[in-house]
Structure 1
Amino acid sequence: RRPRLQRQGIGIVTPMTTASSTLAASAARATVASHRASAPSSRRAPRLATARPASRRVSSSSADLALRARAISDTDVAQDSEALPETRASDDEIPACVGTATKEEFMRWMTTQQALPEQKLELVVDLPEGRGLVATEEVRRGESLLDIPESTLITVERAIAESKLGPAHANLQEWSVLAAFLAEQALAIDAGADGGRFATYVKALPRRTGGVLDWPEEDVKELLAGSPSQRAAMERQASVDAAIDEIRASFPELTKGALRWAFDVLFSRLIRLPNRGGELALVPWADMLNHRPGCNAYIDDTGGAVCLSPDRRYKAGEQVYASYGSRPSSELLISYGFAPAVGENPDDEFEVVLGIDPNDRHADAKADALRRIGLSPVEAFPLKLNGYPKQLLQYASFALCDPDDPRELPGLAEKALIGNRAVGGLLGAITKGKRGTQGEVLGGVA
C-alpha cells in the first residue's frame, strides 16, 4: 500500500498541541546550539534555512562560494555566527545548486521569462523572518495583488510534462510527482544541464526550511517530549522516508538527500488552489509571502491568475502577509520551522479525546449507534484559544445520555450528530474546530 502524505489546505493535518509546548520546542531548537557549538560536528548549521558549512564539497571553487554569499537563501534568516542543532542530513546531500540564485536573477526570471506584471511589492531578503514581500507604495484593503500567470505554476500535470523521468513518473502520488520533479531538476543542474524552464526557481529555493524533516531523531524525542506533536513529527519523517523509497524504486538516480530536500520544500511552500479542485501547486513569487497569525488574506485563483487580496491597508515599506491557513503552532513548527509566541496564535488548539464509558450500562449499544452513522466510540476534538466545536458538546451529550430503553439510542445518535459523519473516524479533522449547524446538544443548547 502506498504511503499517504495527507495535507489539508497548504499544511499537513497533525495532532494538536498546546502553544506553550510548541513554543518551548521552537525555542529549545534555537538555543540548544549553545550546548553543541563546542562539540565537533560535520552537520552543524549557521542558521535554520541556510545550513551551508564552509567546506561543502571538494569541488567548490572560490567563485562558487562567492556566488553563494550573494544568494537569496543566504539572507533568508538573520545573519550571525550562532550554530544551530545538528541537522538530520549533511549539507553535502542537498544538491549544490540549491540556494545559489541571487535576488536579481530570481526577479529577472519572474519578470522576463514568467511575465510577472508590475508589482506594488518587492522582495526583501533581510526581514526578521528572512525573505518576504514588502509594499513599495500604499496598498488598499481588498485590492488585487500578485497577479501571477497560470504558466508560472508548477502543478502535478506540468511537472510530468516538463520532466524527463518517463511514464512511470505519472504513476506516483501527486506529492511524490512534485518531489521527484524538484529533485530531478536540481540534480540535472548539478550535472551541468540547464535544468529546464524552472531552473532559476529551483536555484532560488532555500536549502533548509527548519521543518521537522531536517530534525535528527534525538531532537524530535528530546524537544517534543510530552507533546502530541512528537508523534506527528515522527510520522511525518516516516511517511516521507517511505515515499522516498517508493520513488527510488523506479528512479534510483534520484538521491535520498535530493528527495528529502524536495519534500521539505513542498511541505513549507506547496499551495492547494481552491478553484482548481484543490490542485497542488508551487507558486513562485506567492511563496515569498510570510504568514501572520490572525491574518485573513488568502491566495485566490478565481480569475485564472493567482492573486492575493490583503485584509488590511499597508503603507509603503510594510511587509504584506498572507495566511497559511487556520493552523495551530504545532503545524507551523512541524511544516515551516517556526512557531508564534504563546497567545499570539488564535488557532492554537489541544486535542481532547472523548469516548463512551466502558462501564456505561448501554456502552455496547451506544458504540453500535455511533458506528451506524460513521463515528467511533472514541473521537478527538480540537479545543482552541478562540472556541471549541459544537460537535464536542453534541458527542458528549450522546455519550452521557441514559435512556430507559436502549432501542432509543440510534435515534438519539442521529439527533445529536447527524450530518457530522466522519471519513475514517476523523471527526476532529472534519470539523476543523468550527461550530457546526447540524445536529443538536441533547438536553439543551450550548
Structure 2
Amino acid sequence: MAEACRMFHTALTLTLPPSFSQTPSRHSQPIPRRHPIRCSISTTDTAKTSVTQKIPWGCEVDSLENAALLQKWLSDSGLPPQKMGIERVEVGERGLVALKNIRKGEKLLFVPPSLVITADSEWSCTEAGEVLKRNSVPDWPLLATYLIGEASFMQSSRWSNYISALPRQPYSLLYWTRAELDKYLEASQIRERAIERINDVTGTYNDLRLRIFSKHPHLFPEEVFNMETFKWSFGILFSRLVRLPSMDEKIALVPWADMLNHSCEVETFLDYDKSSQGVVFTTDRTYQPSEQVFISYGKKSNGELLLSYGFVPREGTNPNDKVELLLSLKKSDKCYKEKSEAMKKHGLSTSQCFPIQITGWPLELMAYAYLVVSPPSMSQHFEEIAAVASNKTTSKKDIRYPELEEQALQFILDSCEASISKYSKFLQESGSMDLDVTSPKQLNRRVFLKQLAVDLCTSERRILFRTQYILRRRLRDIRSGELRALRIFDGFRKLFK
C-alpha cells in the first residue's frame, strides 16, 4: 500500500517566504514544446474536489508493468544488478522481494546519485527551473513543481519511466475530502494535522501561482500547474522523499528504493554510501528468496503513517504508536488570565495536545496538568510550570507538587475519558454507518477509508484505555493511602483521649 522511504517531515513549513530574494537573471534555453495536458480544478476549495478526477500520468498503485519498465530503464542508466525484484505483495500494493539469500548487515540497492532527484536536478525546461531558483523557492515546493514539469513532458523527460511508475493517486490524507475527514476521523487529533497539511499545500500552490506562475504563464500554464497536480506532487513527496545525511542532508526522491515498504520491526533506512558511491540501506536481518524486504520510514505513530503514507499497521504491532491527548484550560478558571499569559509566553495554548504512548506520557503533560489545577495561591509558580510544560526550560524539568498530584491526575483522567467516549461513539456507529454512495468504485473507496479510520481509532483508543487504567490505579493508591493515614491519625487521637 505504501511505497515510501524514511521521511523527515515533522515540523516542515511548506509555504513560501513572504518575499523572494532576487538574483541576477541567467541566460535561458529555448523551451521544448509541451504535450497538451488537461487538468482543470478549482484552486480555492480542496474540500469540494471530486475524488474521481485523475492525473494524466502515473499508474495504478499495483501496476507491475510500469515498475518493470522502470527497473529496465534504471538498469540501462547505470543501476547495478539487484538482489531484489518488484512483485505484488501482502504488505503494500507493490514491494521489493529477495531474489537471492540476503545476509544481515548486507548493503543493498546502490542507486547512483545520477539516478536520484534533488533540488539540483536538471530541468527539461531550463528556463522554468531558473525562474524558481531566481525567486529562492524552497526545496519542497521546488521539487513539487519540478515533478509536475517533468511529468508534463511525458516521454521527452528523462524521468518519464519513473513518473509512469508512480501512483496516479498517492495514498495520503491529502486525498481525503474535508467531509471524509470530519466523518471518519472526528475522534482523532490526526484530523487536525491532515487539515493543516491540506491548507499548507493549498497555500503553497496559491503563493506560487500569485508570485510566479501568473507572471510566467508560458512556463507554468494553469492547465498543467494547478491545485490537482500539486496535490499529486506533494502526495508523492510526503510519501517518498528522504533525507540523505551523508549527502549534506539533501532531500531526494530515490527511484526503485521508494518501492520498499515499511515494517515496524525494521530499523534500517536509506543513506548515501561514499565507499560504493550510491544510495544504499544495510539490512538488519536475513531474507530468503521470495521474502519481502522492508525498511523503516521512521519512528512514526499509526496516525502519522496514515497521514503521509495512507496505511495503518496492525493493532499492537507498532512500538512507536501514540495518541494525541487534548488538555484544555477552562475560561471559568479563577486564574485564567494569568495562566493563559504564562502559557502564551512559553509557546503553549489554552488547548494543548500531548503525545501518550502505551508505556506512559511525557513530563510536559503532567506539568501542564499541574498548571491547570493550580490554585491562585500558586500564581508565583505559573511561569515556572509553563516553562516545564513547554519543554523549553534547562533546569527543574521534573517538577512535583504532591499537594496537587491527585487533582492533576484526575484532570488528565477526565480528559482521557472524554477522548475515549469520542472514539467509542465512532466505533459503535461505524458498523451501521451509511456510506451514501451509488457508484461501486466510490463504494469501494468509502469502505476502504472507513476501514482505515476504524483501524486507527481502535489502535489509538487502545492506548487511551491503558492510560485510563494507569491513572485510575494511581488515584486509587493515592486515595487509599490518604484513608490509611486518616485511620492511623484517628487511632492515635482515640488513644490519647
Contact in 2 for aligned 1:11/1:331 (Cα 8 Å): no
Q: 1:323 to 1:96 in 2, by over 3 A?
A: closer
Q: 1:287 to 1:379 in 2, by over 3 A?
A: same
What pairs up with 1:377-416 in 2 under 5 angstroms? 377-400=350-373, 406-411=379-384, 416=388
Q: 1:391 to 1:412 in 2, by over 3 A?
A: closer
1:118 paired to 2:81: yes
Contact in 1 for aligned 2:86/2:95 (Cα 8 Å): yes
Deviations 1:125-162 (A, max 9, x none): 35452211112223233332222222222112226687
Shift of 1:221: 3.2
Q: 1:108 aligns with which of 51, 54, 72?
A: 72
Deviations 1:197-231 (A, max 9, x none): 22211112121223223334443333334333333
What pairs up with 1:176-325 in 2 under 5 angstroms? 176-189=141-154, 194-195=156-157, 197-249=158-210, 250=213, 251-253=220-222, 254-256=224-226, 257-276=228-247, 278-301=249-272, 303=274, 305-325=278-298
Shift of 1:374: 4.3
Q: TM-score, normalised by structure 1?
A: 0.66
CA distance in 2, matches of 1:108, 1:265: 22
Contact in 2 for aligned 1:211/1:334 (Cα 8 Å): yes
2:156 is matched by which residue type in structure 1? D
Deviations 1:399-431 (A, max 9, x none): 5556956445545655x468x229xxxxxxxxx
1:442 paired to 2:433: no
CA distance in 1, matches of 2:383, 2:340: 10
What pairs up with 1:17-28 in 2 under 5 angstroms? none
Contact in 1 for aligned 2:269/2:297 (Cα 8 Å): yes
SS of the residue corresponding to residue 119 of structure 1 reads: coil
**Count of matched residue pairs:** 348
Q: 1:393 to 1:275 in 2, by over 3 A?
A: farther
CA distance in 2, matches of 1:252, 1:152: 28
SS of the residue corresponding to residue 109 of structure 2 reads: strand
Deviations 1:12-34 (A, max 9, x none): 669xxxxxxxxxxxxxxxxxxxx
Q: 1:164 to 1:232 in 2, by over 3 A?
A: same
Shift of 1:118: 3.0
Shift of 1:302: 5.6
2:79 is matched by which residue type in structure 1? L
Q: 2:320 aligns with which of 324, 347, 358?
A: 347
Q: 1:338 aligns with which of 304, 311, 336?
A: 311
1:174 paired to 2:139: yes
What RMSD in Å do the two structures reach over aligned CA positions?
3.7
Identity %: 31
Q: Higher helix share goes to which structure? A: 2
Equivalence for 2:105 = 142
Q: 1:259 to 1:390 in 2, by over 3 A?
A: same
CA distance in 2, matches of 1:241, 1:368: 32
Q: TM-score, normalised by structure 2?
A: 0.60
Shift of 1:124: 1.8
1:120 is matched by which residue type in structure 2? K
CA distance in 1, matches of 2:253, 2:235: 13
CA distance in 2, matches of 1:153, 1:89: 31
Shift of 1:319: 0.8
Q: 1:421 aligns with which of 371, 392, 408?
A: 392
Shift of 1:440: 1.4
Bigger radius of gyration: 2
Deviations 1:384-403 (A, max 9, x none): 23432233234434555569
Consecutive unaligned residues of structure 1, counting only runs of 5 or more, are 1-7, 15-58, 60-85, 423-435
CA distance in 2, matches of 1:109, 1:287: 15
SS of the residue corresponding to residue 154 of structure 1 reads: coil
CA distance in 2, matches of 1:226, 1:313: 40
